[in-house]
């Protein structure tokens, strides 16, 4: 913690010093206050990391689209291609970070497990090509138009 976040070390030192001065009766409040600061910093770091991942993914998509347009559209990521599948998986993993945090904060381990079960389920359904009955409904709707 000292090499990575000097502000957190300062906060911890200040909390410990305050605890020495005030005594044990204020310990729960001091711990809660310190943990609140840690939680806020962790949320900021997670948000920043997710933002970087989303920006990187969007930049990669734009580059890929530009390359596809420059080569006459051949080889660009289209529906069902590796690019689409990879993009879907990458976005779901980026979104998994804040969703996991929400699940853990609200329901601890069960919340995390339910969150990841949903993420895995969505990715499996996407990898399998969607739901067969839904594909049939799309095809029928397109034929009627």
Tell me the per-residue pLDDT of 3-56, one tens digit each, with 9 for 90 and over: 577 888 888 899 889 989 888 888 888 888 889 988 888 888 888 899 999 999
CB 8 within 8 A of CB 2: no
What is the per-residue pLDDT for 134?
53
Identify the three-state secondary structure at position 1.
Answer: coil
- List the chain domain ranges: 1-76, 78-145
């Amino acid at each position: 913690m000292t090499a990575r976040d000097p502000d957190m070390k300062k906060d911890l030192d200040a909390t410990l010093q305050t605890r020495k001065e005030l005594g044990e009766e204020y310990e729960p409040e001091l711990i809660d206050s310190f943990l609140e600061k840690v939680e806020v910093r962790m949320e900021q770091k997670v948000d920043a990391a997710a933002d970087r991942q989303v920006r990187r993914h969007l930049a990669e998509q734009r580059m890929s689209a530009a390359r596809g347009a420059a080569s006459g559209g051949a080889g660009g990521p289209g529906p069902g291609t590796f690019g689409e599948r990879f993009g879907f998986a990458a976005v779901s993993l980026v979104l998994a970070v804040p969703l996991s945090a929400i699940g853990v904060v609200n329901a601890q381990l069960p919340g995390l497990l339910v969150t990841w079960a949903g993420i895995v389920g969505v990715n499996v359904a996407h990898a399998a090509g969607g739901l067969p009955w839904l594909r049939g409904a799309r095809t029928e709707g397109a034929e009627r138009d």
